[in-house]
Structure 1
Amino acid sequence: MKLILTNEVTGLGAPGDVVEVKDGYGRNYLIPRGYAILWSRGAEKQIESLRKAREAREIRDLGTAQEVAQRLGSLKVTLKTRAGQGGRLFGSITSGDIAEAVKAAGGPELDRRRIEIGNPIKSVGSHQIAVRLHPEVSAKVDVEVVGA
C-alpha cells in the first residue's frame, strides 16, 4: 500500500514522505489515526505543501543541530505540577509540557513530536528526556519535576 505521511512516524518517515507499507498497517493504524493518507496523483500537491512546512520547522543542518544540542544540555528545566503524598503526580508530564518548559527556561522552541519520553513521568524528581533534533543528532535534557 502506497501512502503519504501527514505526521512524523518514528522508523517510517516524516510528513510529506511517500512510503510503501503493508496493507494492514496502513489501513488499521496509520490512516485511522491521521498519520497518513492514501497516495494519489491529486495528493502530489499536498505532498509539496507538507514538505515546505516541514522545511520551515526543521533545523537546517548538522552544525546548527549540534549547537542546539549543546544549549539543551546546559539548560536547567523545572516543571511545577500538582503532586500528592509520596511525590506521585496527578496525571503525567507530556511532551507538550516539556516543550513549553524548555521555552520558558530560555531554550529553543521545540516541536513536541521530537521529544521522546521513555517511561511516563508520574513522580517528582529529576528525569532525563531525549530530543531528536536531526537524524544524526539527539540531545538529552534534564527535567526537574517539582510538586506544587
Structure 2
Amino acid sequence: MRVVLRSDRAGLGKRGDIVEVADGFARNFLLPKGQAIVASDGIVNQAQAMRNSRDARETRLRGSASELAVVLEALAIRIEARAQEGRLFGSVAQHDIVEAISAAGGPTIERRRVEMEEHIKTTGSHDVKVRLHSEVMATVHVEVVGVE
C-alpha cells in the first residue's frame, strides 16, 4: 500500500515521503495512529509541495549554519581556570565553552550543540566540535589558561 508519512519515522522515511508498506502495517499501525495517510493523487501533490518546502528550508538552514561555522572558527576562545602544574581544579564543560563563546563576541549557541567526549581537565590548547546542523560541524579552538 502506498502511503504518505505525516511524521518522521526511523527506517521508513521523513514527513511527506511517499512510501510503499505492507497493507497490514498501514491499516493496523500507521493509519490508526495518524502517522500516515493513503496516497491518492491529491495527497501526492500535497506531499510533493511539502517536500519542496522542506528541502528549501533545509538548504536555507544549512547555509546559515555554514556561515555561523566560519564565524565560530575565527573566534579566539580563552578560558581561565584554577590550575596547578597543568591540571585543572575541576574541569571545563560545555556550558563554560558556550559562555566563553558569548563573552568573546560570538553567537549564542545551545549547550547541547557542543560535542565533547569528556570535559577538559588540562591547561593548553584544545579543539572542541560544535554541531550547528546535521551536516555542518564547526571546530572551535579553546585555550585553557591556568591561574592560581
Q: TM-score, normalised by structure 1?
A: 0.59
Which has more radius of gyration? 2
One-letter amino acid of the structure 2 residue matched with residue 125 of structure 1: G
One-letter amino acid of the structure 2 residue matched with residue 143 of structure 1: V
1:13 corresponding residue in structure 2: none
1:109 corresponding residue in structure 2: 108
RMSD in angstroms over aligned alpha carbons? 2.3
Give the Cα–Cα distance (whole angstroms) in 1 for the partners of residues 96 and 140 of structure 2. Answer: 13
State the 1:120 CA deviation: 2.5
Give the Cα–Cα distance (whole angstroms) in 2 for the partners of residues 120 and 73 of structure 1. Answer: 20
One-letter amino acid of the structure 2 residue matched with residue 110 of structure 1: I
State the 1:118 CA deviation: 2.5
Q: Residues 39-67 of structure 1: CA distance to partner in whole angstroms, max 9, x if unpaired? A: xxxxxxxxxxxxxxxxxxxxx61111010
1:1-148 → structure 2 map (5 Å cutoff): 61-83=61-83, 85-148=84-147
List alignment gaps of at least 5 residues for structure 1.
Answer: 1-16, 21-59
Give the Cα–Cα distance (whole angstroms) in 1 for the partners of residues 125 and 146 of structure 2. Answer: 12
Q: TM-score, normalised by structure 2?
A: 0.59
SS at match of 2:68: helix
One-letter amino acid of the structure 2 residue matched with residue 107 of structure 1: G
Overall identity of the aligned pairs, in %: 52
* Paired positions, count: 96
List alignment gaps of at least 5 residues for structure 2.
Answer: 1-7, 12-59
Please tell me whether the aligned partners of residues 118 and 129 of structure 1 are also in contact (alpha carbons under 8 angstroms): no
Could you say if the C-alpha distance between residues 111 and 18 of structure 1 is closer, same or farther in structure 2, counting changes exceeding 3 Å? Answer: farther
